[in-house]
Structures are given as C-alpha cells and as structure tokens.
Structure 1
Amino acid sequence: MPDQPLTGRFDVAVIGAGVVGCAIARRFALAGARVAVIEKAPDILDGASKGNSAILHTGFDAPPGSLEHACIRAGYQEYLEIHERLGLPVNRCGALVIAWTEEEEAALPGLIEKAHKNGITDIEVLDRQALRKAEPELGENARAAFRVPGEYLIDPWSAPFAYLLQAVENGAQLMRGAEVTGARREDDWIIETTRGEVRAGLVINAAGLFGDLVDEKFIGRRDFHIKPRKGQFVVYDKPAAALVNHILLPVPTAITKGVVVCRTAFGNLLVGPTAEDQDDRLHAELVPETLEALKKRGEEIVPALKRHDVTAIYAGLRPATELKEYCIKAHEGLSYITVGGIRSTGLSAALGIAQHVEKLAALEFPPPAHPVWSSVRNISEFLPRDWQKPGHGGIVCHCELVTRREIMDALSGPLPARSLAGLKRRTRVTMGRCQAFFCSAELCRLTRDHFDQPMSEIVE
C-alpha cells in the first residue's frame, strides 16, 4: 500500500529522504515541529545515500574552519551519543593513511598538521616496520603511514533509517513516490507533487542529486550546479575481511579521498570508490575496465586479495558541485533553506548538518513531552543478529542469514519497505554470494502486495 497523501499544514517540509533529509526530519520532529518528508523514489535512500564506503569520519582531513568540517565534527559526536539508544553499531577499528610513493610520504606531515588544526590530536605516526606490524597483509610498497584512531565503521543504511523512523514515531509523515513538480508562495509554500499538493511554512531542500533543479522550482535560480561524481566499488567475499585490521586510506587529492580498502558492516571487504564526473543524474553505469583497474589497485594494496572472490560490484553517485564547500543557505524572507552539494562526507555529517539547519531556521516549537526512542533491528556483523535469537521463523536468505521475522517486520510497521531495494537496505536480503538466486522465489511470495512494483515484474 502506498503512503497516505500529506494533508493539512506542516511546519516543515523536507524534500528528499536520503541520509541528510532523514537526519533533518528527525531534528525538527524532536523539536516539536509537524514535519512532512517528500521523496520521489519508491523508498528512502534511493539516491546518493544508497552507495558509500560506510565510514564515520572524524573530519581530520576536512578544510579547517569550513562548514563541512563543523558539520562532520558535530555529526560524529552526536552519532556516538545516540547510537546505542537507536540500536546502531560502531566498529572502532581506526584508520591508517598510507603513503605509497615518495611524493605521498612527503605530504603526510601536512596532513597531520591539518588534522591537528581540526582538533584531531591523537594521530600516531608509523614507520615502515610499525606499519607492517599493524597490517601484516599490506603490499610491500607501503612506505609510511599515520593512524587516526577515531575513524570508525558503521552501517550506512540503518543509520538514516533509524533517524527517519524516530522522526515518524514522533509525528513526522513520509510520502514516497512523490516527485516535486513545482511550487508557489501564498502565506505558506504550496508544494506541487505527482501525488498532490503539500502546504508547509518552511521548506528544506535536501534533494541531493537534484538539489539545484529543486531550487529552480522554488526560487527561480541555481546558486550551484550538480555535477554527479560516480564511485564504483568492488566487494570481496567474507573471508577477505580478515585480511585488514584498519580502514586503509590513501593520501587524498584535491578531487577525491581516493581508493579505500576496508571491512564492511556486513562482513565483506570493500575496495573503492572511483571518482568519475558525469552528466547523468540517474544512472551509475558499471564499467568493466574501470572495475578491473579498481580490483588491481585493491590487490596492490592487499596482495592476498588475489586469492579471494569478488561477490558484488556496485556504483553510486555523489552530488558534487563546482564549489568546494557545502551549499547550505537560508534564503532571506522566503522560508526556504537549501542543503546541497553534500558529497562523500554526508553520512558522517548528516546529524551535524541537521543541527546547523535548525539554527538557520530559527524557529521554536513546543517540544514533545515524551519523545520516542525506538531501537532498530541490527543487521551488521558488529552486534548480535536476529538469526541468533529464538522464534525467528527460519532463514530465508542463507547467504546473509536473513530471517523470515526480519523480512516481515521490514514489510510492516511505521516505515515499511516499498521496494526490493528498500527491503535489502533494511535486512541485507539478496546481498550475498548467490545474489538472490536461491531466495528470490520465497521473497516473491513474502512481498506480494507490499511493493509498488512486484518482484515478478522487476527486470535486472
């Protein structure tokens, strides 16, 4: 069943249900606002937020004094303060920034100085011998490194899901499958969508890859232009995760943080992303030659990867712009806030961005007397899983050990999955070695009448 149309007047309307939109909705709902979330896709996290490297960054390498750095630091701190109450995992593995060339080694002191300016003072310098001890499987060409103990791994999908779920359980309303087609200003904003009009006092544009186009609909201009940056990833089978102890980071460039090797929250090992600018905002095409080069780079970093299988490949798009800073602005006299250009640091910065946007809005509401804090079901390998608990109804996806109870819970409740992709991001179903070969028939039966597009009609 689709979400109900949004009726009545809302204090705040958030356009876009990616990680940033979910965090903003949570912030305003907990402040006591009546919040609407408008998402054009069948389910949440369907845009830029669906593909990333799932690292909770400290902001050690962000531009000092920038808004991006401030939001990362605030978001990092809030995540650590609330994650246990929301049932969200943290793997406190730390990161190594590794120099592979003489030029990169010469850049390390400058990066350490930047980290210190950004308040990250627990940096530990490693020479070649110490580096080899920390990461025995590292390639022989690694010259030197420094450790950033506060860089952690998290679940990139459960975090925004938990933010929006808390928003909904504190009164926010979500309407999916609703593309914004226009807007007009009366006493309030009247937002025109493919599922009807929505009235709101304040509009927050968190539309990600379409943020500049949404600005045009509301304020008649673009202050930035989205230039999608594609990142392709290679995912190795679960035994490969034992090869590394830290998040392995390269020396970043002016364009990208570079190719990362790290474990995932779901027990695999990830290599990526690439950084490829393109015009297409919808499609992140996988390129065999690029993936082969990415695989080769991963095997240069950790040579033992040559003995392990690749079980998945994927690509995501980041909403890069021509500007180096986040494009966050309250438009004076319009009750409209743009939140654009949130690139690869969005997962880490989302809660901090929400804090910043709340300050820009400068609105006060009567806060809920008893705010709801509900815990999401863990799907990471960092905490106990549902298959380890009694009464789960049996395993449906054997590759990822997803239970019938997990699937049925994800299809119901206040924020039910409305697509196979949405169900995957809530449970891990179809993510394993067989890529749904064995479980698809049972999933088709279990999800009947739950999805906007039935599984039997999906053509991969």
Structure 2
Amino acid sequence: MYDVAIIGAGITGCSIAYELGKYNINAVVIEKENDVSVGTTKANSAIIHGGYDPKPGTLMAKYNIKGNVYTKELCQKLDVPFKQIGALVVAFSEEEKKTLEELKERGAQNGVPHMEIWDKEKLHKEEPNISDNAVAALLSPNVGIVSPWELAIALAETAVENGVDIKLNTEVTGIEKKDDAYQIETNNGMIEAKYICNAAGVFADKVNELINEKTFEITPNKGEYYLLDKSQGNLVNHVIFQCPNEKGKGVLVSPTVHGNLIVGPDSQPSAGDDTSTTGSGLSFVKNTALKSVPGINFRESIRNFAGVRARTKKHDFQIYEDKKNKGFINIGGMESPGLSSATAIALDVVKMLADTGLVLEEKNDIVDTRKVNRFKHLSHEKRAELVKENPLYGKIICRCETVTEGEIVDAIHRPIPATSIDAVKRRCNAGMGRCQGGFCGPRVQEIISRELNIPLKDVPQDRLGTDIITGETKDGGAR
C-alpha cells in the first residue's frame, strides 16, 4: 500500500511528487499517458507570470507570486532552461492606459515587485519593433520564460531518484474508500493508498466524481498557437501582452527559451482532449498579434499547436480536502497562471497532507540537483571531453538543433525513459528545429528501437496509438 497516490503527471502532479520525494513515505504518480507532461503542460505559453493579473485575495494571486520565485529557484537547481526577461502589457489608447494603472495597483496589492509604466518613447526605445500605435506599457520585470515540459520532467525524474514510483499507461477508472484507505481501480489493476492528490488537469472534475458528488466543474477551453523559426526569435525582447479582457490575458508575442518566437493563444470552448487547430483560430491569433508587432513574418512558422485550459466558473484554483472523504485532496481548475503556481501549490499540498494525518519525516539524504548534457551549448573543450568519453556524442542526429546520438541515448535511459519520438524531443530537443523532425525523426525512431530492443513499428510518435509504421507497402514476394 502507498501512503500517497498522485493522479496526473502534468506540472502540478510532478511538483507534488518532487516535494513528497523529500520524505520517508511511499508515493506513486498514476498517469494514463505513456510519458509525463503530455497534456496542458506541453502546450501552453511557457510563461512564468508576474502576478499582477489575478484578483487580490484569490488562490491564483497567492500562488502565482510564490511560484514565480520558487520556480526560478528550481530551474537553477534542476538544470531547466529559464530566462527572466520581463513582460510588457501594451496599451493602444488612453482608455487602455487606465487599465495599465489598474493592473499596476493590483500587482502592488499582490506583492509584485518593481512594476513601472513606460511612456511611448521609453517603450519604443526598448522594443523598436512594437506597433507605432502603442502609446504606453506596464513593465513587470519578474516575468520569466521556461521550458514547461522540461520542468515537469526534471521534477518527476528527481522524484523517481528519491523513491517515488511512477505508473505510466495507467488510467484511473474507479475510486472507493475502504476503512482507512482508497482502492484505486485502473486498467492495470488495483492500487491502494491512504491519501489521494487529484491533479488530473482538464479531467480533475471527472476524477473527483469517481468518489464524490460534483463539487466543481471544468469547462475545457482551447488556445491555438504559432511557433516561429529562430529567425524571428529576436523580434521582441520581452513577453508582449495586450491589455487583458473578459476572455483572459489575450494573444501574446514572446521569445522562447530555445530561441524561437511563440504567438498566441486564442480562446474557444473545447472538448477536454481536443488539441486540433483551426483556420479561423489561427487567423485570429495572427491578426491580433500583428496589432502588437506588425513585423512578424508568419511565413517563418514551423509549427501550429493547441493546448486546453482547465477553466472553472469561479476562475480560480480549486485546492481543498474533500469534506466527505478525508485525505482526498483536489487540485483542480489549473488554468493560467497554473504553470507559474504549480511549484508553490505543491508545498501547500504537502502541508495539507500533514494536517490531515500523513506523518512526514524528512530523509537524511535526497537528490536535489540535476545536470543535463546539452552538447550544443558546451565549449569546444567540453565537447571534446564528452566525445572522448562516449563517441556517440560525436554523431549529430538532429542537425537543426545540434543534438547528438549520445544525448538521445541518455534521454532514453533516464529515470523516466523516453519511449516515443516526441518523448525524446521533450528531453533533448531532437526534432524541435526548423524541419520539425523531418530529417532526424526516422533516425531517432531507429535509436529508440535499438536501445529498448523493441520492433521499429512499436515506436510511436507520441501517445500510444500515434503509430508511424502501420504496415508494409509490399508483401515479401513483391519485386
């Protein structure tokens, strides 16, 4: 029997697992997909927000501020790409300048440091490619950009190193309370745990309803994006927002930690697992973004994608212990600023578990740092040392991102193995470049097949069922 079962391996579930790994308890993460971070965590704006947007007194305001600081600290410890570049909320009219003042005041109430309003001259000096129609901007210098899937993977891998179990390809189908434990029914058999953390993302309300009446409801909301080539990556220096409205923070234009430019999202109702993109949605994103930065060259787009927000009617996080089921903790409604808040939320979830009876004894010795070899960023001397130690580092597989076979093999054999082409991509960037895996994809597939000793046809693109090879084009006798 486990002490704690965490349902969901997105950024929230992985953050909780990381924190629980510091204690002498038995914990398990249950994830229905074949890897961590494959839901909303891998498909969002990748922004660590400043904290000026949430209404004062909300859980979003509380955790955004704490998470902004703690996430930066964890990225440094766990070798996750992060850059604190600041954000600008841009006004295009005198009326919107009033909104900037309101946001600045809200940020002050929430505890956001060093905010200031720039006039048109200052704005255009710092951001020469911003629209001539922009009249002012609110600077929030504490905003950062991150690789969200790499952060979730780092947290989960460190948790595994500290003894936390992770069960992938395991979907929760039922929950029943018996005596002082929960019987968690899955497609891979029964799992017992004394406590449950429900971090199931857009399906958190459905997991809650497996044992409880409906206490909150998630209305999935989809946002579509453009990812542009690195040729566009220096177009702006900050995260560029327009003034928020009733639909959210709106379409942003931002550099990414990998040197690209990300543009989006829109906002539209969606099914929980619908990540399709649409012509109308992308057209809206494009036209809205051009209002902020008219010089974006959308012909340099290398990828379109969509992510789904776990939105609730209250527009606030749902974090509480269920009144009828002691030890069952819901962490729901993790829409923006969910990524920014997850690491701080995890700290409080651990406290909630302790308050409800979980005995927490700190381990004497834990893994709390991590280092990843990124060949592309090493000096010539370090590269030579790596190649001498392991010749696979001398073989470039992904030319766009300069990713070596050594990095790919390492990704496959890390604490949570990469078993799909996209799982490798999330760990070491192979396939992230301009050609989006057009050249290196088949080679990565071969390496996974070789290293895991599985048939080539059993290596998926991403989730189970995303088959690349579905059969032979000719039978054995054809010539």
TM-score grouping bracket, smaller chain normalisation:
over 0.9
State the one-letter code of the partner of 2:173.
T
| Deviation readout 1:329-375 (Å, 9 max, x if unpaired) | 10245210011001021211011110121121123322111011231
Correspondence 1:210-221 to 2 at 5 A: 210-219=203-212, 221=213
d(CA) in 1 for partners of 2:379, 2:193: 40
User: Residue 430 and residue 89 in structure 1: after superposition, are their counterparts in 2 closer, same or farther (change >3 A)?
Assistant: closer
Q: For residue 6 of structure 1, what is the aligned residue in structure 2?
A: none
In the other structure, the counterpart of 1:3 is none
Alignment of 1:116 with 2:126, yes or no, is no
8 Å Cα contact 2:62-2:110 kept in structure 1: no
1:295 aligned onto 2:286: yes
Q: In the alignment, is the contact (CA less than 8 A) between 2:266 and 2:284 conserved in 1?
A: no
Residue 31 (structure 1) aligned to one of 3, 9, 23: 23
Change (3 A) 1:377 1:183: same
Compute the displacement of 1:118 (Å). Answer: 0.9
Report which stretch shifted further, 244-253 or 297-306: 297-306
TM-score calculated relative to the size of structure 2: 0.89
Q: Which residue of 1 aligns with 2:436?
A: 435
Query: 1:386 and 1:164, CA in 2 relative to 1: closer, same or farther beyond 3 A?
Result: farther
Q: Shift of the alpha carbon at 1:379?
A: 6.0
Preserved CA contact (<8 Å) 1:299 1:306? no
Show the 5 A alignment for 1:279-428. 280-306=271-297, 309-332=300-323, 333-362=325-354, 363-377=358-372, 384=378, 389-390=383-384, 391=387, 392-428=393-429
Alignment match, 1:18: 10
1:379/1:338 CA distance change after superposition, 3 Å:
farther
Cross-structure match for 2:475: none
1:188-207 matches, within 5 Å, as 188-207=181-200
Secondary structure of the equivalent of 1:442? helix
Distance 2:379 2:244 in 1: 35
Task: Mark the CA change 1:294 to 1:216 in structure 2 (over 3 Å): closer, same or farther.
Answer: same
Aligned-residue offset at 1:99: 0.6
Letter of the 1:402 counterpart:
V
2:66 and 2:72 map into 1 onto residues whose CA distance is 10
Identity percentage of aligned residues: 35
Deviation at 1:234, TM superposition (A): 0.6
Does 2:95 align with 1:103? Answer: yes
3-state SS of paired residue (1:320) = strand
Paired residue type of 1:375: R
Cα distance in 2 between the residues matched to 1:156 and 1:52: 8
The answer to which structure, 1 or 2, has the higher relative contact order (CA under 8 A, 6+ apart) is 1
2:138 maps to amino acid:
F
- For 2:316, the aligned partner's letter is E
1:21–1:107 Cα change, 3 Å: same
SS in 2 for 1:230: strand
Q: Which residue in 2 is equivalent to 1:458?
A: 468
Cα gap change, 1:379 to 1:255, in 2 (>3 Å):
farther
Q: Please, which of 227, 232, 235 is the counterpart of residue 235 of structure 1?
A: 227
Rounded to whole Å, the distance in 2 between the matches of 1:86 and 1:384 is 17
Cα distance change on mapping 1:265 and 1:190 into 2, 3 Å: same
1:71 corresponds in structure 2 to: 63
Gaps of 5+ in 2: 388-392, 462-466, 471-479
Letter of the 2:363 partner, please give it. P
Q: Is the 8 A contact 1:387 1:403 kept in 2?
A: no
Please tell me whether the aligned partners of residues 229 and 275 of structure 1 are also in contact (alpha carbons under 8 angstroms): yes
Cα offset for 1:155?
1.6
Answer with 1 or 2: which has the greater Rg.
2
Instruction: Determine the C-alpha separation between the residues in 1 that align with 2:2 and 2:273.
Output: 29
Over aligned residues, Cα RMSD in angstroms?
Answer: 2.2
1:37-96, Cα deviation, whole Å (9 max, x unpaired): 000011111111111111111212111121111111222222233332211232121111
Matched, 1:125 2:117: yes
Gap runs ≥5 in structure 1 = 1-8
Partner of 2:166, secondary structure, is strand
Cα distance change on mapping 1:355 and 1:380 into 2, 3 Å: farther
Per the alignment, do residues 27 and 366 of structure 1 end up closer, same or farther by CA in structure 2, a change over 3 Å counting? same
Contact 1:225–1:322 (Cα < 8 Å) also in 2: yes
Residues matched between the structures, number: 449
Q: Give the distance between the partners of 1:59 and 1:447, measured in 2 at CA.
A: 41
Q: CA deviation at 1:184?
A: 1.7
Give the superposition deviation at 1:192: 0.7
Q: Hey, what's the Cα distance between the residues in 2 that align with 1:413 and 1:141? A: 49
Q: Which moved more, 1:11-20 or 1:251-260?
A: 251-260
**Structure 2 residue corresponding to 1:209, chosen from 191, 202, 207:** 202
Residues in 2 aligned to 1:149 and 1:244: alpha-carbon distance in whole angstroms:
15
How far, CA to CA, are the matches of 1:63 and 1:180 in structure 2? Answer: 34
Shift of 1:13: 0.3
In structure 1, give the amino acid aligned to 2:459: P
Paired amino acid for 2:287: K
